[in-house]
């Protein structure tokens, strides 16, 4: 069945790069997403990548997609304290607007 | 700016009471999702509506939960009777069938004692 897996925690020093990883199982996924959830708030779409792309960059964010290995990563350059949050990976298929969600990775920033 | 709104933001109730949570999707959006988030289970999809019709509510306990869209500007999630295990944060999200993005509301934190 469909499944999205992520590590539960990642700890990085302020100013370093953070790399959050995700694996998925459905090779027919059309879109893959990264959502951010700050404490006490709802999820916010950070970025997404279409399955025929292998990289997308948006300011400090870089998304890499390896379709062969079904691996998605989110790199945050120059990690700041404001980046502390839970990051969710999700996948969807073109004909279905429902998302399959990972469990979320909590990003912890050390001073 | 356009946002999904949810009321109430917090609700504390006693076991056995009815709970109604409301969601106003972003104007023009025709898909609505209800999610439940807990530490143990993470984010679970409860129900999904498109053009006000329920397309998937398989994630919802049918004996006590019900979800409706009385009109395009209001989605409701009811629990009757509520139980302590229903304690969670309930999120509503809306989107457009012409787009793949979901926009989340701030959530309703429900505590059932």
| pLDDT score recorded for residue B9 | 96
For residue A69, what are the contacts with CB-CB under 8 A and spacing of at least 6?
Answer: A23
**DSSP letter (8 states) at residue A55:** E
Average pLDDT along chain A: 91
Residues of chain A contacting residue B104, judged by C-beta atoms under 8 Å apart: 35, 42-44
For residue B12, what are the contacts with CB-CB under 8 A and spacing of at least 6?
Answer: B111, B113
Nearest to A27 by CA among A7, A45, A6, A3: A3
Q: Can you name the residues that pair with B21 across neighbouring β-strands? A: B77
| pLDDT score recorded for residue A95 | 55
Interatomic CA distance for residues A66 and A23, integer angstroms: 10
**DSSP letter (8 states) at residue B25:** P
Note the pLDDT tens digit of each residue in A62-82: 999 999 999 999 999 999 999
Average pLDDT estimate for B65-90: 97
Interatomic CA distance for residues A14 and A110, integer angstroms: 6
pLDDT surpasses 70 at A96: no
| pLDDT score recorded for residue A28 | 77
pLDDT surpasses 80 at B98: no
Average pLDDT estimate for A33-56: 92
The residue written with tokens 């025709």 in the block is: B30
| pLDDT score recorded for residue A72 | 95
Confidence of residue A26 (pLDDT cuts 50, 70, 90): confident
| pLDDT score recorded for residue A40 | 86
Record: contact B100-A41, CB cut-off 8 A: no
Record: contact B91-A42, CB cut-off 8 A: yes
Q: Which residue has the higher pLDDT, A94 or A5?
A: A5
Q: Picking from A3-17, A18-32, B84-98, which range would have the lowest pLDDT averaged per residue?
A: A18-32
Residues of chain B contacting residue A103, judged by C-beta atoms under 8 Å apart: 42
Note whether B57 and A99 are within 8 A (CB): no
pLDDT surpasses 70 at B46: yes
Q: What's the number of CA atoms in the CB half-sphere (13 Å) around residue B30? A: 7
Confidence of residue B59 (pLDDT cuts 50, 70, 90): confident
Give CA angle at A74 (B92, A1), nearest 5°. Answer: 60
Average pLDDT estimate for B72-95: 96
Interatomic CA distance for residues A52 and A50, integer angstroms: 6
As given in the structure block, the two tokens for residue A90 are: 């999700």
Average pLDDT estimate for A96-103: 81
Average pLDDT estimate for A86-94: 86
**A22, A43, A100: best to mutate for the B interface, most B CBs within 10 A:** A43
């Amino acid at each position: 069945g469909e499944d999205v897996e992520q590590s539960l925690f990642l700890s990085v020093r302020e100013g370093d790069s953070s790399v959050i990883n995700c694996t998925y199982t459905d090779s027919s996924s059309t879109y893959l997403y990264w959502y951010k959830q700050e404490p006490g708030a709802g999820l916010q779409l950070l970025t997404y990548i279409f399955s025929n792309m292998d990289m997308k960059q948006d300011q400090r964010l870089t998304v890499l997609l390896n379709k062969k290995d079904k691996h998605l990563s989110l790199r945050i350059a120059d990690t700041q304290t404001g980046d502390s949050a839970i990051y969710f990976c999700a996948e969807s298929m073109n004909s279905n607007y429902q998302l399959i969600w990972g469990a979320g990775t909590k990003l912890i920033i050390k001073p | 700016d356009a946002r999904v709104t949810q009321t109430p933001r917090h609700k504390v109730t006693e076991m056995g009471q009815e709970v109604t949570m409301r969601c106003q999707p972003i104007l023009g959006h025709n898909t609505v999702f209800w999610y439940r988030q807990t530490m143990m289970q993470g984010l679970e999809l409860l129900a999904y509506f498109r053009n006000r019709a329920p397309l998937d509510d398989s994630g919802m306990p049918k004996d006590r939960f019900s979800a409706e869209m009385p009109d395009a500007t209001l989605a409701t999630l009811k629990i009757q009777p509520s139980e302590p295990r229903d304690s969670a944060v309930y999120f509503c999200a809306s989107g457009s069938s012409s787009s793949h993005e979901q926009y989340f509301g701030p959530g309703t934190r429900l505590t059932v004692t």
